[in-house]
Amino acid sequence: GENVEQHPSTLSVQEGDSAVIKCTYSDSASNYFPWYKQELGKRPQLIIDIRSNVGEKKDQRIAVTLNKTAKHFSLHITETQPEDSAVYFCAASNSGYALNFGKGTSLLVTP
């Protein structure tokens, strides 16, 4: 089955700096790669996703890149703000199938 590795497990940045979280996956059949932000006790919130036919996608301060050959994808957050502090999960799936989650990255943005 699919195995998703996520690094780092914790990340601390100064407000205004950039944050990068990286994930690798093992199943070449995976074609959907979402990123979720989860606050304590709440559901995961989709912040951005990318499909296997696209190499990069950007939405304001958030971007995701995908390298299908190397089977890795990354989340980039620019101009970080304290409200970006949360746990971020990457995931991989084949469309319509269950999501396989990485272990999560706890991001702390300090003012």
Partner 1 sequence: GAVVSQHPSRVICKSGTSVKIECRSLDFQATTMFWYRQFPKQSLMLMATSNEGSKATYEQGVEKDKFLINHASLTLSTLTVTSAHPEDSSFYICSAYGTTFNYEQYFGPGTRLTVT
Q: Name which of 13, 16, 12, 61 is nearest 35 in CA terms.
A: 61
Q: How far is the CB of 32 from partner 1 (least distance, A)?
A: 4
Our finding on whether 46 is near partner 1 (CB under 8 A) is yes
Q: Is 100 in the site for partner 1 (CB under 8 A)?
A: yes
* Minimum separation from the CB atom of position 38 to partner 1 (A): 9
Query: Which residue from 34, 35, 65, 107 is in contact with partner 1, where contact means CB under 8 A?
Result: 34
CA angle 68, 92, 20 (to 5 degrees): 75
Alpha-carbon span 66 to 49, nearest angstrom: 10
Interaction between residue 108 and partner 1 (CB under 8 A) = no
